[in-house]
A and B are shown apart, each in its own frame.
Chain A
């Protein structure tokens, strides 16, 4: 890398530094990435580096340019932490720090955001001020588990930075074999379809288990996610070990006057073809300007409610469905969660205690039975669903299965 000044004439957008002042090195590949109408993170990084003269950021841009040249990554992990915690800081040391000494350290603080990713401008500004003082000023909103990722700090400054963030009310998230930072949908804060208090349950449950977030003591990562309805906006069935999804018993609420308005506005053909015909269990009929639903056939898929939001809404007896064992690709391919709790109420403190108890017993069963680096879905697959249910003391019900078994070989007790 020749430390020559690069020209930034191609830069677009307002609020950009007008010249690099000779600070940044040439990054021709990253400059090509910068072009085009979508906003570019490279533009942001250059602007920040030029303003703050962060040598760390300059080194990171140099190393990234080199990654683009060589199609190779150059970070390695390690151990960087804060007092009393065993997780929450992601260590990144450059493996080619001889070539890019400015990028020698580029550690990340994973910070837990408020459930639903809500902020006030003041809370973000205060965080930015602390982060600019101690770190690179680079922030990812958000990581794939849902953390605020403050990227780019040296080991020497980590404790002080965390102390100041902690004074502002922020705490670190999970990493490695811990209970990870959770995600919840926007929930009752701004959605008519939320069937339980996703934000409140997320807040209380993760606060209860906070020790498991900060101290790695589990076989591998463990994630809860909270979706307010079966639209599952947090993708909990695929992306969490415990998917807590809002649902309801009883009948869908129908406002027939609003149904009539939809018929007038959209036409009965639309209602017939795009609502009635798409019901997966054929539970709906259009009769003139009214809708009729056979709620015994309804599987709570949400389609008709999504399509006719003013006229239809989840029924009054609301609660949650819980699926267990979802996870990503490694090592056995993607797994979706399995239905373990078809319905439970989740409104009172007592209800929440039942969920806490369920989570505690499940984590204990998993910790007792899992191999190293095994998600609970993999453990269940290895030891068998029956062993998991027996371990949890759960009696299977017909709601948990697609169908009874078709393989004839089993040993029932007689």
Chain B
């Protein structure tokens, strides 16, 4: 490869992740492991107090995640001006400035908002959306990711800046059924509705057939000769439209501009606080993949979050709220239809069916 042909005298240092201590604010180094408590003076601001009495303020702001050197240099300018040159990022793509001088908090907030970074995402807010790559960069997406996030956050920005939800709300989007966005209070995920269309002309030239056969979780794929060429065929009855084969073989075309739909899942919970971590459950499906603003998805997301905000008790995560009121009232409160496709299939239905006489009328 041409990269290897380049003459260079540099010998790679296989160092792995950098030593974190070099990047920590001096107050974080001084009080490492000796913090006492924290407070939230206002949305978007944390105040951590150490046993030594030192206080470290954090200002948190939303970003686009897909940033540029220009945008990052602007954040660096603010870090130099207000936070001794130290900043970090959260797993939800928010930037955080670590501040030793409390007098810098308000001016930094003003400057961040002036260049378009909303300040918030602390406490009981709707934080920024964890998301995947989508059409911008991924090789298997059925929708965009950054675009869905942008259009949703345009609708949710007020809840990002406030702390008015019953508990924190974590959202994600995913542009294929691998679901890189993960389990969250609410997730928007692609749902394929048709088995892959198979490009028999190129399949055997670009794919290892046994590998594709082995990739299928339901043994729906088998080798065949089609139009005189070695290829694969799919049993449409067995196929669950997961798209695993497409990752192994681009000729298994699972993505479809109309038949790849969006589904909304709710009640995933990472934390062990109160209840144990839980997987998400299906709330709505069959929503159109409708760029550039995805209004049908935004409508469902807002309906669910509105009902949760109205009905949730303090500290209840979205899934805990549903646990209390029951799924029947969840569907009533959100106006979403419960259909035969919301039940589990195969053996799993015997787990998720009501195995009691408990019922709400």
Asked whether A114 lies within 8 Å of B3 as measured between CB atoms, the reply is no
Contact flag A44-B16 (CB < 8 Å), given A166-B10, A192-B35, A303-B274: no
Select B17's contact among A12, A158, A202, A332, beta carbons within 8 Å. A202
Asked whether B20 lies within 8 Å of A44 as measured between CB atoms, the reply is no
A137 to B68 alpha-carbon distance, docked (Å): 6
| Chain A 197-217 near chain B by CB (<8 Å), digits 1 or 0 | 101101100110011011000
Residue in B24, B65, B292 whose Cβ sees the most chain A Cβ within 10 Å: B292
Lowest 7 CB-CB distances: which A-B pairs, in order? A36-B154, A71-B257, A188-B33, A41-B66, A67-B135, A13-B116, A121-B76
Chain B residues within 8 Å of A, Cβ to Cβ: 1-4, 6, 8, 10, 12-24, 28-29, 32-39, 48, 56, 58, 62-77, 79-80, 85-91, 93, 95, 98, 114-118, 130, 132-144, 146-147, 150-151, 153-154, 157, 177-183, 189, 211, 214-217, 242-244, 247-248, 250, 255, 257-258, 260, 268, 270-275, 277, 279-280, 289, 291-293, 314-315
Residues of A within 8 A of B19 (CB): 114, 203
**A48-88 residues at the B interface, CB under 8 angstroms:** 48, 51, 60, 64, 67-68, 70-77, 79-85
Q: How far, in Å, is A63 (CB) from chain B's closest CB?
A: 8
Nearest A-chain residue to B277, judged by Cβ: A237
Asked whether A155 lies within 8 Å of B157 as measured between CB atoms, the reply is no
Contact flag A373-B63 (CB < 8 Å), given A73-B139, A192-B48: no
| Chain A 371-403 near chain B by CB (<8 Å), digits 1 or 0 | 111000000000000000000000000000000
| Chain A 154-187 near chain B by CB (<8 Å), digits 1 or 0 | 0110111011001101110000000001110010
Residues of B within 8 A of A331 (CB): 215-217, 242, 244
Asked whether A170 lies within 8 Å of B18 as measured between CB atoms, the reply is yes
Residues of B within 8 A of A202 (CB): 17, 20
A interface residue count range (under 10 / 10 to 19 / 20 to 34 / 35 or more): 35 or more
Nearest B-chain residue to A136, judged by Cβ: B68
A–B complex contacts, Cβ < 8 Å, 6 sampled: A80-B1, A114-B17, A230-B272, A301-B273, A301-B274, A331-B215
Asked whether A280 lies within 8 Å of B314 as measured between CB atoms, the reply is no
A313 to B24 alpha-carbon distance, docked (Å): 24
A337 to B248 alpha-carbon distance, docked (Å): 26
Residues of B within 8 A of A19 (CB): none
Residues of B within 8 A of A33 (CB): 147, 150-151, 291-293
Contact flag A309-B38 (CB < 8 Å), given A232-B277, A234-B91, A303-B315: yes
Contact flag A83-B66 (CB < 8 Å), given A189-B32, A329-B179: no
Residues of B within 8 A of A203 (CB): 16-20
A328 to B22 alpha-carbon distance, docked (Å): 33
Q: How far, in Å, is A105 (CB) from chain B's closest CB?
A: 11
Select A238's contact among B29, B215, B217, B270, beta carbons within 8 Å. B270
Asked whether A182 lies within 8 Å of B65 as measured between CB atoms, the reply is no
A160 to B2 alpha-carbon distance, docked (Å): 11
Asked whether B273 lies within 8 Å of A230 as measured between CB atoms, the reply is yes
| Chain A 135-158 near chain B by CB (<8 Å), digits 1 or 0 | 001111110101000010001101
A128 to B100 alpha-carbon distance, docked (Å): 26
Asked whether A213 lies within 8 Å of B58 as measured between CB atoms, the reply is no
Residue in A41, A43, A47, A307 whose Cβ sees the most chain B Cβ within 10 Å: A41
Asked whether B28 lies within 8 Å of A238 as measured between CB atoms, the reply is no
Nearest B-chain residue to A151, judged by Cβ: B137
Residues of B within 8 A of A37 (CB): 118, 154, 157
Asked whether B23 lies within 8 Å of A123 as measured between CB atoms, the reply is yes
Residues of A within 8 A of B38 (CB): 191-192, 309
Asked whether A39 lies within 8 Å of B62 as measured between CB atoms, the reply is yes
Asked whether A336 lies within 8 Å of B277 as measured between CB atoms, the reply is yes
A274 contacts the other chain (Cβ, under 8 Å)?
Answer: yes
A6 contacts the other chain (Cβ, under 8 Å)?
Answer: no
A122 to B29 alpha-carbon distance, docked (Å): 18
Q: How far, in Å, is B316 (CB) from chain A's closest CB?
A: 9
Q: How far, in Å, is B124 (CB) from chain A's closest CB?
A: 12
Asked whether A36 lies within 8 Å of B64 as measured between CB atoms, the reply is no
Asked whether A300 lies within 8 Å of B141 as measured between CB atoms, the reply is no
Given contacts A82-B3, A159-B6, list 6 more A-B pairs with CB under 8 A: A73-B255, A121-B85, A155-B1, A159-B8, A210-B16, A237-B270
